Structure 1
Amino acid sequence: MRATFLFSVLLIVVSSAASFSSGARATRCSPIIRKRKTALDLSGVSSASANALLARGGGEQVLKSFYGDALGYFGGIRTPATFLAGSSLAAIFTLKGAASKLASDDSSLSGLEKFAIKAYHVLAVMAFVLSLNTVVTATVAHTSVLHGRFDQVGETAYTMMKREFLYEFDMTRWSFLSSMFCFLGMVLSRLLFEFELLKVGSFGGAGENLAMLLLCIFGALITNLMSFVNQNLWCWSSLIGMTRSVVELVLDRAFVQKRPLQVISVLFTLGSAFYIGKLVGLGDKEKQNDSL
């Protein structure tokens, strides 16, 4: 009886030790598997909304909120645009030397000097207007982002901005790039007529060579920047295509969405283009006809 009892106790102890050993071994060898949180879990987007953002071919997209990126873009682009606006505004009202003669007596100026001065005025005003448009549009868009009533989730910040802020995103980019190129053209024009490089015999006959040197330097810079910009527009092959897209957006707001002030803005823009052409090209022809 006692032997049977001892045998039973021994059997229980051995079986318990075996089960404990196997359990400990399983614990050491089997890692704890935890469910990793996906981007969908972190973003808080429902499965139905996520299905609409699946990539072509059925692959799963990594969804992410780009709220901070939108704030950073619209806030950051205002700084260089403000610099261009201030510099262009100052350049409009600081004319000396040859430029001051145009308003009173331009008989001593050559045709190239007259053209350079007119181009300077036009480019300075365009640089100011376009850069100011960038600042105002970005400021209004920045407030819209703070309001938060838009879908912040997308595959990339670029796709989210194109989806939620199409007009603001394209308009600020186009306005800033255009104002930058107008600013460079303005600086080149100012250098040419301010130092009288377009006059025959200036700088002891070296004025023509200096003018060509400036044209080559600024030509290299402008074409290099234009090439780089065209390669990184992503949705367009060139700045011309981007301009066409911006014009379509403006016309859509004016005549499809029927915004009266936008219609008036389009009409004023057409008038500006007409008078720019008249100032640069037609003004001299009218003077020649009057003299005849």
Structure 2
Amino acid sequence: MYSNDQSSIGRRIFDIYIQGNLVLEDFNIMEKAGGVGKGITMNFSDILVNSSTLEISLYWAGKGTSVLERGENGPLISAITITPRDGYKLFSLRQIKAARDDFSPINKIGEGGFGPVYKGVLADGKMIAIKQLSSKSRQGNREFVNEIGLISALQHPNLVKLYGGCIEGKELLLIYEYMENNSLARALFGHELSRLNLDWPTRKRICLGIARGLAYLHEESRLKIVHRDIKATNIMLDKDLNAKISDFGLAKLDEDENTHISTRIARTV
């Protein structure tokens, strides 16, 4: 925060700690930025964040200049982004079109309330499901933002994993792990050729999987979430018929100061 005039003799040297661990010693902010009043971005990997807290310390270790009067004496951290190791990715529309055979109808595997769902294959051979939200729907836009914000922060064996998304032109796309056996609705009530013969032990295991997913959302996750649209079409089945909850477009945070009880109709009619 020092000026760059002749009278400024300030030296900006810090030791930087993240989560109490020294990551940079004798860090000279002005040299790194190439001058004063300039912003720089720095990346650090393998940082363990626990108890919902990330602590960054800029420690004056006696090698920089100390300014005694009130004011800012060093660098400012203006923004922080945290990317999980297996985190959310941003895909290009070109990648998705290639994976999806340019949205050929033959690859359509479902129809959600706000757009179709397609099967695709990424360049590395990974199977994916692509949810295409209608660009004309305001509610679809809200659901898109809501789903990214909530499910990207959640990890559980009984929740469908979100790989990433694509926002390009008028396209709003969400990319998920591919569920080989589609939805519970199709397994139970679909066309005769697509129905599955689910015995009672399998049905019980599916119910327990749904319950585990809901218990995680309601009680075990750092973010307490009420899904508000649990139904057979939003329960997906993987190749081993494990149940995974999907479609968080109508989900709501259950914050301490706000009750999760709502008199407004939110779910499927």
TM-score by length of 1: 0.23
Greater fraction helix: 1
Which one has a larger percent strand, Structure 1 or Structure 2? Answer: 2
User: If you compute each CA radius of gyration, which structure gives the higher value, 1 or 2?
Assistant: 1
1 or 2 for the larger relative contact order (CA 8 Å, sep ≥6)? 1
